[in-house]
């Protein structure tokens, strides 16, 4: 398992950056580099259910491990969900990476925001995550800095 980290300074306050990250409309915009039509559905409860899915409804089932809006959110990935909504959290393939984290930490820099992201991935997904986060965080920056 690899831990990748990304940082970007955004000329906008914490709450605005938070809103760009998690608003359904802007989420789809900045996550397009992971796959077009990406959506996040969450009950926003620690220990609850969060789904990161593509346009067909396939993707990851996760939980919020820690939540302190607008300062940080940590997701723990539990398994996969298919387009019929069936969850796999127990297969051998899933158990190899289940429990990996995805962390978003927002730090106030006197009105600007430092966005720090860490994600644990298997080596084979490293390039995909690099592309997604490097391009996606630029979109977050552009959206948050708009008037």
pTM of the model: 0.93
* Contact of 125 with 35, CB cutoff 8 Å: no
pLDDT for residue 113 = 98
pLDDT for residue 147 = 61
| CATH number of the domain residue 126 falls in | 3.30.530.20
- pLDDT, averaged per 10 consecutive residues of the chain (147 residues), comes to 96 97 95 90 96 92 97 97 93 91 97 97 90 96 91
C-alpha 9/C-alpha 137 separation (Å) is 10
C-alpha 101/C-alpha 119 separation (Å) is 6
Compute CA 75 distance to the chain's CA centroid, rounded to the nearest angstrom.
8
Which domain does 43 fall in, by range? 2-145
- The first and second tokens of residue 10, run together, are 């955004």
Q: How many domains does the chain have?
A: 1
- Of 19, 78, 80, 88, residue with least CA distance to 54: 80
């Amino acid at each position: 398992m690899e831990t990748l980290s990304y940082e970007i300074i955004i000329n906008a306050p914490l709450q605005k950056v938070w809103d760009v990250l998690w608003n359904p409309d802007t989420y789809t915009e900045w996550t397009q580099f992971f796959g077009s039509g990406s959506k996040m559905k969450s009950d926003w409860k620690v220990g609850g259910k969060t789904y990161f899915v593509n346009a067909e409804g396939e993707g990851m089932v996760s939980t919020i491990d820690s939540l302190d809006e607008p300062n940080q959110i940590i997701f723990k990935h539990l398994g996969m969900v298919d387009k019929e909504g069936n969850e796999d959290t127990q297969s051998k393939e899933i158990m190899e990476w289940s429990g990996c984290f995805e962390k978003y930490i927002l730090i106030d820099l006197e009105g600007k925001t430092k966005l720090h992201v860490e994600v644990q991935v298997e080596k084979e997904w490293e390039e995909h995550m690099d592309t997604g986060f490097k391009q996606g965080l630029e979109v977050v920056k552009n959206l948050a800095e708009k008037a």
